Chains A and B, each alone.
Chain A
């Protein structure tokens, strides 16, 4: 092995400038791959974190995915009843406190009850449709971060006035509502109430800021025309990424439809998967192109050293040793390139992460980058693997040189 290393180093020395170009190629490839991966995954995680923080991980509603089995069908196998809908006679989750207690007894999650009602907001002659969420402020803090998203007023204000509501910032802007204003709210059932805006929140998720208002459970129940109604339980799981599995279990245990945030945002998850696929394709292509440089160098060296190879083989050095020499050379280029690429990638990620820019909401934000050993490991492994493959063909060709042919030609 020592001999192969010595000869490899000699070759690299004699081709220092070309070797440097090869190293730079690999380094650039690895550097950009690392930077791209940390930016892509950073922004994805940032986006999902924002989403996951402001939305419940799992929403349990009083709907069912399949209509309840009909008594006739239960008794007689032959009976088939079609075109059933899933309407319950009385809306709401039955005995919500017991359901909550049951879920909390086994699930690693917090549960809060709420009333969801579609309402119409009336202000200065304009009507805007919105969703009212009747909540218990104390329990709400456990499942959502709405308290930290208040730009005016606070969550606790809900209990300080009668018929108090919190409005999404975009909704408030649209209707020109300020804290302290009164608004008229009417439900689809025809109930009307006058409410006072006691706070405005901004979650950053347009859908929420645009059409959601919070009120106390009691107010929402009045609007829904059903005292004691709870038609939605919202869960915050300890592990947000495991919400899908948890939702399936909750649904199986309670019989109520439980929708995880992943299911609710299936299109988004798909978009991220496509984005990641594109990213890895591009990263792979960058590293592949970088390895062409390595192939070029090793090819040149093997051509240049044909005479040396013939000499070594004529002395009795084995073909495997000759092959090893050139594979080692590629490995040295790949390894130095990889390390330089790590440094470059880290520096570029750092620089990108330091760039500040104004978000449309006014507060300065930075590009969300993450530093993951997986990115470095992956880029490094691909770069080294590509170097090895790039070296393999010329190395094999060099090792198969027939010394007599070269010597016949030379003498």
Chain B
């Protein structure tokens, strides 16, 4: 079975007056249907790793393979296409377009892909929002929604093109316990649907324990998961 995402000695160094190593020699593989939690101290390089896995960033050396395809040497447009078709990203901060309604935010990736008719996109967008409990908020703009609602819109948007992998970087970081539980519950139910994989970064050991596998990052490198967690 080909892993959905695989890294080969992926290293990312930020060039500057002083070079900063964000992540070093990462070797990992994410298989279909897996629910992976990434933990680690603040500043350890979790987000940096997620950007590499999500093809938002390019490794300085090594490679990231998506469904077996090496991506390090792809041009910008090819990587954008892969992002659009196979990856869905949820950021710590929701990152919705402020002037677009919830529904328009959700249909944006579909329109960029251009595979469905306008009507079908609308229907699918409404369906996703309904599944995330936002049926009555589809036409509100982000500033008219609560933090948890916004994060759910962002999840709906990440699901828009039915991606193989959902990458979520601390999606519940800004939410209260109830909202966290709700958002996490949704993410958990996504796993297993159509062999989809979920990779989630979290500080919360309780949440991390609910994942099927855990990865721990320390100083930009994979490390054994601490015993007491």
**Cα–Cα distance between A42 and B125 once the two chains are bound (Å):** 60
For window 15-63 of B, CB contacts with A under 8 Å fall at: 47, 51, 56-57
Please indicate the chain B residues that have their CB under 8 angstroms from the CB of A411 in the complex. Answer: 47, 91-93, 169
Q: What's the dominant secondary structure at chain A's contact region?
A: helix
0/1 string, A1-36, CB within 8 A of B gives 1: 011000000100110000000000000000000000
CB-CB under 8 A for A315 and B89, given A3-B111, A403-B56, A408-B47: yes
**Cα–Cα distance between A3 and B107 once the two chains are bound (Å):** 10
Closest B residue by C-beta to A403: B56
**Cβ contact within 8 Å between A317 and B56:** no
For window 76-100 of B, CB contacts with A under 8 Å fall at: 76-77, 80-85, 87, 89, 91-93, 95-100
For window 306-365 of A, CB contacts with B under 8 Å fall at: 307-308, 311-321
- For residue B148, CB closer than 8 A to chain A, the reply is no
**Cβ contact within 8 Å between A317 and B97:** no
**Cβ contact within 8 Å between B99 and A314:** no
**Cα–Cα distance between A404 and B169 once the two chains are bound (Å):** 13
CB-CB under 8 A for A313 and B80, given A321-B112, A411-B93: yes
- For residue A407, CB closer than 8 A to chain B, the reply is yes
**Cβ contact within 8 Å between B77 and A318:** yes
CB-CB under 8 A for A308 and B97, given A403-B56, A411-B91: yes
B13 CB to nearest A CB, Å:
14
**Cα–Cα distance between A318 and B112 once the two chains are bound (Å):** 8
- For residue B152, CB closer than 8 A to chain A, the reply is no
- For residue A410, CB closer than 8 A to chain B, the reply is yes
0/1 string, B93-131, CB within 8 A of A gives 1: 101111110000000110111000000000000000000
**Cβ contact within 8 Å between B111 and A404:** no
Contact of B99 among A14, A316, A319, A408 (CB under 8 A): A14
**Cβ contact within 8 Å between B57 and A315:** no
Closest B residue by C-beta to A410: B93
**Cα–Cα distance between A316 and B113 once the two chains are bound (Å):** 9
**Cα–Cα distance between A321 and B81 once the two chains are bound (Å):** 12
**Cα–Cα distance between A205 and B181 once the two chains are bound (Å):** 95
**Cα–Cα distance between A319 and B78 once the two chains are bound (Å):** 11
**Cα–Cα distance between A312 and B98 once the two chains are bound (Å):** 12
**Cβ contact within 8 Å between A404 and B57:** yes
Closest B residue by C-beta to A400: B76
Closest B residue by C-beta to A1: B114
Please indicate the chain A residues that have their CB under 8 angstroms from the CB of B150 in the complex. Answer: none
Contact of A317 among B80, B82, B157 (CB under 8 A): B80
Please indicate the chain A residues that have their CB under 8 angstroms from the CB of B93 in the complex. Answer: 410-411
**Cα–Cα distance between A407 and B85 once the two chains are bound (Å):** 21
Please indicate the chain A residues that have their CB under 8 angstroms from the CB of B57 in the complex. Answer: 404
**Cβ contact within 8 Å between B51 and A315:** no
**Cβ contact within 8 Å between A315 and B157:** yes
**Cβ contact within 8 Å between B80 and A318:** yes
Please indicate the chain B residues that have their CB under 8 angstroms from the CB of A403 in the complex. Answer: 56
Closest B residue by C-beta to A321: B112
**Cα–Cα distance between A318 and B76 once the two chains are bound (Å):** 8
A402 CB to nearest B CB, Å:
8
A386 CB to nearest B CB, Å:
28
Contact of B108 among A312, A319, A320, A404 (CB under 8 A): A312
Contact of A10 among B80, B83, B99 (CB under 8 A): B99
Please indicate the chain A residues that have their CB under 8 angstroms from the CB of B89 in the complex. Answer: 314-315
**Cα–Cα distance between A408 and B93 once the two chains are bound (Å):** 11
For window 373-411 of A, CB contacts with B under 8 Å fall at: 403-404, 407-408, 410-411
B59 CB to nearest A CB, Å:
12
**Cβ contact within 8 Å between B56 and A315:** no
**Cβ contact within 8 Å between B109 and A316:** yes
B40 CB to nearest A CB, Å:
16
**Cβ contact within 8 Å between A407 and B97:** no
**Cα–Cα distance between A229 and B89 once the two chains are bound (Å):** 100
**Cβ contact within 8 Å between B111 and A2:** yes
Closest B residue by C-beta to A3: B111
Please indicate the chain A residues that have their CB under 8 angstroms from the CB of B81 in the complex. Answer: 316, 318
**Cβ contact within 8 Å between A3 and B91:** no
**Cα–Cα distance between A404 and B14 once the two chains are bound (Å):** 12
A304 CB to nearest B CB, Å:
11
B72 CB to nearest A CB, Å:
15
B9 CB to nearest A CB, Å:
20
**Cβ contact within 8 Å between B108 and A3:** yes
0/1 string, A185-224, CB within 8 A of B gives 1: 0000000000000000000000000000000000000000
For window 173-226 of B, CB contacts with A under 8 Å fall at: none
**Cβ contact within 8 Å between B112 and A317:** yes
**Cβ contact within 8 Å between A314 and B56:** yes
A400 CB to nearest B CB, Å:
9
**Cβ contact within 8 Å between A315 and B112:** yes
**Cα–Cα distance between A320 and B109 once the two chains are bound (Å):** 15
B15 CB to nearest A CB, Å:
13
**Cα–Cα distance between A27 and B92 once the two chains are bound (Å):** 45
**Cβ contact within 8 Å between A315 and B84:** yes
For window 100-116 of A, CB contacts with B under 8 Å fall at: none
**Cβ contact within 8 Å between B83 and A316:** yes
**Cβ contact within 8 Å between A404 and B85:** no
Give me 15 other A-B pairs in contact (C-beta within 8 A), A308-B97, A317-B80, A403-B56 excluded.
A314-B83, A315-B89, A315-B109, A316-B80, A316-B82, A317-B108, A318-B81, A319-B76, A319-B80, A321-B112, A404-B51, A407-B51, A407-B95, A408-B47, A411-B92
Closest 5 CB pairs of A and B: A316-B84, A316-B83, A3-B111, A316-B80, A404-B57
A-B contact pairs, 9 of them (CB 8 A): A3-B108, A10-B100, A312-B97, A313-B80, A314-B95, A316-B82, A318-B112, A319-B77, A407-B91
